[in-house]
Amino acid sequence: MNRVSPRQLVAYLIAIFVFAAAAGAIGGYSWGKRSVARWPDRSKMREKIQAKITADLGLSPEQVAKVSPLIDRHMEELDSLNQEHHRQISASMSRQRDRIADLLTPDQRIVFEAKEREREQRRSRQRGPSTGGSTNQGPGIPQHQTKP
């Protein structure tokens, strides 16, 4: 039987550690690229909430009929809050871009605006095609308006 020397054992352990770290980094990066902050689809969220409440509490059909509109109202409130949140973020980002643009030379502003357009295109690709209807994702962040 071949014996593994302590040096070989350490080399094997280091190699395993390096490969595991690399695999974890690649997996984490891939997962992070997919995980754009989005709310789940409203109808799926609603169904999940109603099913959980019904199962956990053993609601009768009459109680489900009364709880269902409450859940609908809750989902509408969440939509409203989410949309307002996106409007506030959009306004803040726009103000920040304007403040930065005001400090730039005309040549720097051209580069800045091109970078902003690239960033917005990347964000659009990450969001994917619009599906229409309410998905609880809020409105998109509007494009930066340049000053003359």
113/32: higher pLDDT: 113
Cβ(41)–Cβ(51) under 8 Å? no
Least confident of 13-17, 18-22, 39-43: 39-43
Cβ(42)–Cβ(5) under 8 Å? no
The pLDDT of residue 92 is above 60: yes
The pLDDT of residue 145 is above 60: no
pTM of the model: 0.48
Query: pLDDT band at 45, cuts 50/70/90?
Result: confident
144/119: higher pLDDT: 119
At CB < 8 A and 24+ separation, what contacts does 69-78 make? 71/46, 72/46, 74/49, 75/42, 75/45, 75/46, 78/39, 78/42, 78/136
| pLDDT of the residue at 114 | 94
| pLDDT of the residue at 135 | 42
Distance CA 33, CA 10 (A): 34
How far is the first Cα of the chain from the last one, in angstroms, to the nearest whole number?
Answer: 81
